[in-house]
Amino acid sequence: MVAQSALADSDEQKELRDSVRRLLRDKAPLSAVRDGADSGADPGADSGADSGAGFDRDLWRRLAELGLTALAVPEKYDGLGQTALETGVVFEEMGRALYHGPYLATVGLAVPALLLSGDEAACAELLPAIGAGESIATVAVAEADGLFDTAATATRAVREGDGWRLSGTKQFVLDGVAADLLLVTARDGENVSLFAVRGVADGLTRTAVESLDLARSVARVDLDNTPARLIGVAGSAPAVVEQILDRALLALAAEQAGGAGACLAMCVEYAKTRQQFGRPIGSFQAVAHKLVDMLHQAEFSRASARYAAAAEAEGDAEFPVAVRVAAAYCGEAFRKVTVETVQVHGGTGFTWEHDTHLYYRRAWSAQHLFAGREEHFAAIADRIGL
């Protein structure tokens, strides 16, 4: 069982939360997302701090200076060796601010992928640069069916001397345009393996695709006889990807909990200041009931995500079930909270200038990002032996 003490922020985690929240509030305003959409900026493009929703390299360097990119990297690879509890705090704040950079792709996907691969040489070579913020990384699994699963992998791997060549197309790759390193699944006969592809590799084409979530960069990745390096053991990708998916869902659940908390705070503030019939709208029972329901959903989201993070941090056997419970609950709760957020704000909540629709877009998109609610329920049933 997870220790009770792990379910509340420690003093150090509170300081971490405050630092991340201040930085994102000051350097990653939501207005930048709308500005970038208005200008047609590519969310994955290399840009400076003045480039709207484009990828802000200056802010990324600041995140690295604070050690945020190195949190999950073990100390032997020049990282900070922190647990899912600490990274969960950061992901929650990223979700609260709708941070539009490659943190989920790099820290939530690529770092676990390398560690779970068991490839010590690859970890020693690739993780220090990721932890230092010098290398942005992502994982490319989904193909035409959009599933984060290796069963239908059509991308082909052909051995060439001591290396490999990959050909195929990956879809819905988070921050695929900006990535310096892509960890790609590909098939060699019956084996599906994980490969590392450099962002500058020959035959690699990355194309930004339109996403419902304006604060998330997604790409199609085409590989045409692209040189690659095998990561881990040949044929190990199915088992590794299943574990990567659990870690990605854990990070996403924390993001969703943070987003729900931000929407609740937004609604409470609006309900206290918006006047109707000479009274704040929060004094009306219908609005008050909505806020209470949102509070429950936001708090239960945070609790479920935190419990799953504690289970992962402690190596508890409950983690495989706890993470799917968190994924199923947080996704649905965040979506419901964003719907109510628009309702509380009335007509203004539908306008382009207001932040509510950005959270609404994130909630609907994130609920299906790696797996849907039905898939979470099926995984829970399978993992408890039903």
> How would you write the pLDDT of the chain (386 residues) with one tens digit per residue?
787 777 889 999 999 999 999 999 999 988 888 877 766 655 444 433 333 335 789 999 999 999 999 999 999 999 999 999 999 999 999 999 999 999 999 999 999 999 999 999 999 999 999 999 999 999 999 999 999 999 999 999 999 988 999 999 999 999 999 999 999 999 999 999 999 999 999 999 999 999 999 999 999 999 999 999 999 999 999 999 999 999 999 999 999 999 999 999 999 999 999 888 889 888 899 999 999 999 999 999 999 999 999 999 999 999 999 999 999 999 999 999 999 999 999 877 778 788 999 999 999 999 999 999 999 999 999 999 99
**pTM for the model:** 0.94
Give the architecture (CATH level 2) of 4-131: Orthogonal Bundle (1.10)
E strands, the chain, are: 46-47, 55-56, 137-140, 156-160, 163-174, 181-188, 191-198, 204-209, 218-231, 275-276, 279-280
Two domains, one topology: 4-131 and 239-383: no
CATH class of 137-235: mainly beta
Under DSSP, the state recorded for 225 is E
Domain edges within the chain: 4-131, 137-235, 239-383
Residue with tokens 């690739």: 126
Q: Beta strand pairing status for 181-188 and 137-140? A: parallel
Superfamily covering domain 239-383: Butyryl-CoA Dehydrogenase, subunit A, domain 3 (1.20.140.10)
